[in-house]
Amino acid sequence: MGSIKKIVHQKFETERLFIRPTSEQDADLIFQLMNTRKFLKFVGDRRIYSIQDALKYIQTKMLPQLYNLGYSNYSLIEKISGDKIGICGIYDRDGLDGVDIGFGLLPKYEGFGYAYESSSRLIKAGFEEFEIQEIKAIVSKQNVSSQRLLEKLGFEFNGLIKLPNEEVEVLQYKKLK
């Protein structure tokens, strides 16, 4: 008989946030976030027009990577209020050599340092716990606030890239362990 390895999906914590793998119970958050003006403008339309679409997206895009690699998309929960405020994750994205980090917040939580706080913690986990040697990031040319955040996180500009099935080039950054 072979041994059964139990997969532990890690949760993280910062001073102000609980960071846990996104699950089906977060369909409401994914629906709200992926339909915000900024998400649609800078990330794109993921065709999530209902809670059911969000649930399917979690089941087909987020959970398989979590089960296969041990990391994926994480929901951000504000400790004080218990509110789900956004997402942050390390993604194995089609058309990108290696993994990249991404983040998004509901509009009322932008500008308070939550993206920096959650990204910093997941970068640390990526290097130390998931043993990733390099993390990339892609960002729209127009998304100056995210470009500044990546630079604050220690990422360096690495050129332009065009992802499969996308029409526009995006900026690519990278950070080594």
pLDDT in tens, 14-55: 999 999 999 999 999 999 999 999 999 998 889 999 999 999
Q: What is the pLDDT of residue 83?
A: 98
3-state DSSP: the chain helix, strand, coil percent, rounded to 5? 35, 25, 40
CA dihedral 117, 123, 128, 132 (to 10 degrees): 170
Please give the model's pTM, rounded to 2 decimal places. Answer: 0.92
Q: What is the pLDDT of residue 6?
A: 42
Percentage, residues of the chain above pLDDT 70: 95
- pLDDT band at residue 164 using 50, 70 and 90 as cut-offs: confident
pLDDT in tens, 64-77: 999 999 999 999 99
On the question of pLDDT at 5 being above 50, the answer is: no
Sorted by where each starts, the structural domains of the chain and their CATH numbers stand as 12-131 (3.40.630.30)
C-alpha torsion sign, points 11, 147, 36, 93: negative
How far apart (Å, rounded) are the C-alpha atoms in residues 24 and 114? 23
Sheet holding 17-21, edge to edge: 12-13, 17-21, 73-78, 84-91, 99-105, 134-139, 170-176, 156-161
